[in-house]
Structure 1
Amino acid sequence: MPDVTDTVDRLVRLRSDRDPTSFAVIDPHTRIIYRELDTATMEMAAAFVEAGVSKGTRVGLIMPNSVLWVQIAVALTRIGAVLVPLSTLLAPPELAAQLRTASVRVLISVPEFRGHRYLDDLEPHRATLPALRKVWTAEEAVAAPVSARAARLVDALADAVTPSDLFVIMFTSGSSGPPKGVMHSHGNALAAVRSGLDARCITPDTRLYLPMPFFWVGGFGSGVLSALLAGATLVTEEIPQPDTTLRLLERERVTLFRGWPDQAQTLARQCDSIGADLSALQPGSLEALLPPHDRSTPGARATLFGMTEAFGPYCGYRADTDMPRSAWGSCGRPFDGMHVRITDTEAADPVAAGVIGEIQLRGPHVMRGICRRSREEVFTVDGWYPTGDLGHLDDDGFLFYHGRSDDMFKVSGATVYPSEVEQALRAIDGVAGAFVTEVSGAVGAVVISRRPVDQLREGARKRLSAFKIPTVWLLVDDDDAIPRKATGKVDIRALRNLLTSSGEQT
């Protein structure tokens, strides 16, 4: 019997039947229950059909997190259109490049957000976008008139969507190079998200908050689709800020806070001064926001690990449960539907347990491909995807991450893995974050801390071999000082430049 949640349309219909009055998505201004999500998105879908959108039409969406973002995304994908979420951080040339790479035919955008006027800024680039035929504001898209014929077509189009149909193109910059348009089908994306629900502790009773934007797989997969698959409630906002976020968590009685540890630590530092009641948060949330008795020993819980090409986390362990002692510091085990092997970085042959090499992925949850690249360019001859990440598997199948193959470097002939140094620095009391790279043949570190460098160096000496201890340091007050790309990943080149210009040599 086919899975009734193997396309977005079937999933929304299921939720409407089983959980009609449960809240699906909440933002500070709007809330919608599952029955309303079903009816509203079918009405929107009819408007899109009237405008010429149909199965296979690639539609770009650029707007901040909101109930409306979810409604538009669901409406488009129910009828088989291909969603192309676009970062609200993109500069005009970057936006044009991604529209061109994905052959976007229709663009839906907010007129302005945080100083970006996307449609105005895009106008000089329109001549380079031959596939782009229609540009809408979000308000125009949802208010478009609908004929009786379009309304009749919606159900037929939704019924024609299959699990193997292209569902979404998500952009990831990787660590270097131009942006990649990663293609996922309905079946592989939904199955990938479903495989990690238990590890992320998401159930029908969950009220989930993620600060991640929906245009990243962390926000779309681990947020929007996780809530839909579990029948949970997703709580979101346009611009996370400590005071408004803490009040939102309190007001909506959020039970699960997932996201980046740095964000949770920032909120935790201001929680007492703001006076927010976060007692509804349950184990499985990022631990900085939990009371001390609900926190684990550092390293005992898995750090969920994934990538856009795997549609989010492909490896983990229940976020409220300690792993076996031998697995502490690991990312957990690969989820069902994902096979992982480690290969030699030069010979590309599989290596034994315990040996560091490149992580390669294969299985039904892996992406279908990358825009404008042949299958031979993306996968090995035996069907594995070389991730460029470094790691090792232990004898029990737990995966330990060691950074990017293009980030590792040598100091006096010895290999340094930035992630290993970062992990050691973050274990030092008073360190809220650490980011490591090579600086002219030396180990450089940008550290979020108010402790002096000599104390940090002494803490590193207790945890690292001498050649791994940073000799170029830069202390910053918060995460805002860390240079990031439009995808949210740390910009290593900019980080290196920052250390070169402002770092302290020791």
Structure 2
Amino acid sequence: MTDPVRCGTDTVDRLVRLRAERDPTSVAVIDPHARITYGQLHVTTIDLAAAFIEAGVGKGTRVGLIMPNSVRWVQIAVALTRIGAVLVPLSTLLAPPELAAQLRTASVRVLISVPEFRGRRYLDDLEAHRAALPALRAVWTAEQAVTAPVSERATRIVDALTDAVTPSDLFVVMFTSGSSGPPKGVMHSHGNALAAVRSGLDARCITAETRLYLPMPFFWVGGFGSGVLSALLAGATLVTEEIPQADTTLRLLERERVTLFRGWPDQAEALARHPASVSADLSSLRPGSLEALLPPQDRSDPGARATLFGMTEAFGPYCGYRADTDMPRSAWGSCGRPFAGMQVRITDTESGAPVSGGVIGEIQLRGPHVMRGVCRRGREEVFTADGWYPTGDLGRLDDDGFLFYHGRSDDMFKVSGATVYPSEVEKALRTIDGVAGAFVTDVSNAVGAMVVSRRPVDQLRAEARARLSAFKVPTVWLVVDDDAAVPRRATGKVDVRALRELLTAATGPRRVP
């Protein structure tokens, strides 16, 4: 018998209708202040879609959304995409010039925003840039968007508009960026995005019984795809919050009996170290969760479980292995195997020619789950002549098809003629007891490392020497007590340029309290 969850959910509207029909009383999304069932999600987003239609939003209208994680974020996103509007999630971390640049790049026509979050007043700050945004026709607060009046005509035509949306229609523009350069708006269709998320559900151990928590913001593909859309596809319950903090997050995990904690390993490790974790009952967590929060008997040996690997251009993870299962011993330390629907090849970084198994080169992707394109760029600027996407990531495939990640092609560097892959050094440093994070780059023909740890530098150096070849051992060290000291961009990625500047300013090993 054909599974309707696999063949009948190729647009967001069809997926929501199926969930409302099959699981109307199951809880879809929970935040600290609200919760909504799948039946309620269907009804409220149809009503909200009618309000958007009344305001002039329709198929193809690009709508920016800037607000923190919440039930309301999900309702607005679902309502827009059900009628074929193109969602443009925007980071709450953006400075005004960055926000204007992304609105311009994506040709956003309508912006929906909270008035203020964490000291940023987005709508006020944007006024100085309005003249440079000719496509932007309307700016609404989130409250205005959900309370707009609706005519009988708008209500009547909602179903007709949802029926007109096809899997090939543009669904979302997700922004990503490296350490520098202009905004990169990655375009995905309904069909390719939902199929990409579906292909990784089993690896992420997400089922209808899952109560899923992950700290990633919904404006990143990790939060939207691995959170919101994963829950919708599986019929799971998604638990979220605006600002993850140790005390409130632990209470939320306990209160909502969360069964699966996915996301950033460093946050799980921080929660495990927090004194409140002694009294918080996390017994509902199941294998497949980040292991720092699991009891010792449910944890694996280092490297035995895959680190799911992906990118915005692939709409999240495209490579992995079941998160609750050890890989074959020969694959330890890998990212697992590519998911169905994704082809992966490794090419020489200079010639572009495919290389043999085991050789490190650039990872290239092809297949139905890859993005449709990039805003304001021609296809020939994005893909190779034979249809592959050059990711800029370095990796190798073993004989069994497991992918090993070796960092970014623009991050690798040479020390005395020998190639250093920052990710390899970072991985080794993170195995040192007491190291919560490690970030590596080149500093004047030397290896520099910023390490989050409370251990003395000389101990860290000695441990590194036992794990790495001599030329890979950092000679410039900057040790900090808190991950908050690590420079990051609005995307959450490490700002490599700022990291290099910090390490360059460090005159030898030192600790920053």
Q: Give the structure-2-normalised TM-score.
A: 0.98
Identity %: 85
Paired residue secondary structure (1:42) = helix
Distance, in Å, in 2 between the alignment partners of 1:181 and 1:275 is: 44
Indicate the residue corresponding to 2:351 in structure 1.
347
Letter in 2 for 1:489: K
Does the Cα contact within 8 Å between 1:485 and 1:491 map onto a contact in 2? Answer: yes
Q: Deviations over 1:374-426 (max 9, x none)?
A: 00000000000000000000000000000000000000000000000000000
Indicate the residue corresponding to 1:231 in structure 2.
235
Paired residue secondary structure (1:401) = strand
Q: Which of 240, 243, 256 matches 2:260?
A: 256
Q: Deviations over 1:247-283 (max 9, x none)?
A: 0000000000001111111111015566211110000
Alpha-carbon distance change, 497 to 132 in structure 1, aligned in 2, over 3 angstroms: same
Deviation (angstroms), 1:149: 0.3
Does the Cα contact within 8 Å between 1:315 and 1:334 map onto a contact in 2? Answer: yes
Distance, in Å, in 2 between the alignment partners of 1:241 and 1:503 is: 34
Q: Which of 467, 473, 495 matches 1:491?
A: 495
Distance, in Å, in 2 between the alignment partners of 1:422 and 1:223 is: 27
Q: Deviations over 1:481-500 (max 9, x none)?
A: 11111000000001111112
Letter in 1 for 2:212: L
Indicate the residue corresponding to 1:9 in structure 2.
13
Distance, in Å, in 1 between the alignment partners of 2:191 and 2:209 is: 25
Paired residue secondary structure (2:274) = helix
Paired residue secondary structure (2:178) = coil
Q: Which of 88, 97, 115 matches 1:84?
A: 88
Does the Cα contact within 8 Å between 1:338 and 1:364 map onto a contact in 2? Answer: yes
User: 1:273-312 counterparts in 2 under 5 A?
Assistant: 275-312=279-316
Q: Which of 50, 54, 76 matches 1:50?
A: 54
Question: Is residue 458 of structure 2 the alignment partner of residue 454 of structure 1?
Answer: yes
Q: Which of 319, 325, 330 matches 2:334?
A: 330
Question: Is residue 181 of structure 2 the alignment partner of residue 181 of structure 1?
Answer: no
User: 1:352-431 counterparts in 2 under 5 A?
Assistant: 352-431=356-435
Distance, in Å, in 2 between the alignment partners of 1:376 and 1:273 is: 52
Deviation (angstroms), 1:176: 2.9
Paired residue secondary structure (1:132) = coil
Deviation (angstroms), 1:175: 3.6
Tell me the C-alpha RMSD between the 2 structures.
1.0
Distance, in Å, in 2 between the alignment partners of 1:486 and 1:434 is: 19
Does the Cα contact within 8 Å between 2:250 and 2:276 map onto a contact in 1? Answer: no
Question: Is residue 131 of structure 2 the alignment partner of residue 157 of structure 1?
Answer: no
Alpha-carbon distance change, 395 to 503 in structure 1, aligned in 2, over 3 angstroms: farther
Indicate the residue corresponding to 1:108 in structure 2.
112
Does the Cα contact within 8 Å between 1:243 and 1:274 map onto a contact in 2? Answer: no
Q: How many pairs are equivalent? A: 506
Q: Deviations over 1:30-75 (max 9, x none)?
A: 0000000000000000000000000000000000000000000000
Distance, in Å, in 2 between the alignment partners of 1:88 and 1:382 is: 37
Deviation (angstroms), 1:136: 0.2
Deviation (angstroms), 1:457: 1.0
Does the Cα contact within 8 Å between 1:445 and 1:470 map onto a contact in 2? Answer: yes
Paired residue secondary structure (2:40) = helix
Letter in 1 for 2:248: T
Indicate the residue corresponding to 1:320 in structure 2.
324
Structure 2 unpaired stretches of 5+ = none
Q: Which of 124, 128, 132 matches 2:132?
A: 128
Q: Deviations over 1:426-485 (max 9, x none)?
A: 011111110000011110000111111111111111111000000000111121111111
Q: Which of 5, 9, 29 matches 1:25?
A: 29
Distance, in Å, in 1 between the alignment partners of 2:275 and 2:400 is: 39
Letter in 2 for 1:350: P
Deviation (angstroms), 1:505: 4.2
Indicate the residue corresponding to 1:117 in structure 2.
121
Does the Cα contact within 8 Å between 1:474 and 1:503 map onto a contact in 2? Answer: no
Question: Is residue 156 of structure 2 the alignment partner of residue 146 of structure 1?
Answer: no
Paired residue secondary structure (1:32) = strand
Does the Cα contact within 8 Å between 1:246 and 1:271 map onto a contact in 2? Answer: no
Letter in 2 for 1:207: R
Question: Is residue 175 of structure 2 the alignment partner of residue 171 of structure 1?
Answer: yes
Indicate the residue corresponding to 2:74 in structure 1.
70
Distance, in Å, in 2 between the alignment partners of 1:225 and 1:273 is: 29
Does the Cα contact within 8 Å between 1:104 and 1:132 map onto a contact in 2? Answer: yes
Paired residue secondary structure (1:504) = coil
Distance, in Å, in 2 between the alignment partners of 1:286 and 1:180 is: 30
Distance, in Å, in 1 between the alignment partners of 2:277 and 2:398 is: 44
> Higher mean Cα deviation, 172-181 or 208-217?
172-181
Distance, in Å, in 2 between the alignment partners of 1:10 and 1:30 is: 24
Does the Cα contact within 8 Å between 1:111 and 1:118 map onto a contact in 2? Answer: yes
Paired residue secondary structure (1:390) = strand
Q: Give the structure-1-normalised TM-score.
A: 0.99
Indicate the residue corresponding to 1:500 in structure 2.
504
Indicate the residue corresponding to 1:465 in structure 2.
469
Letter in 2 for 1:406: D
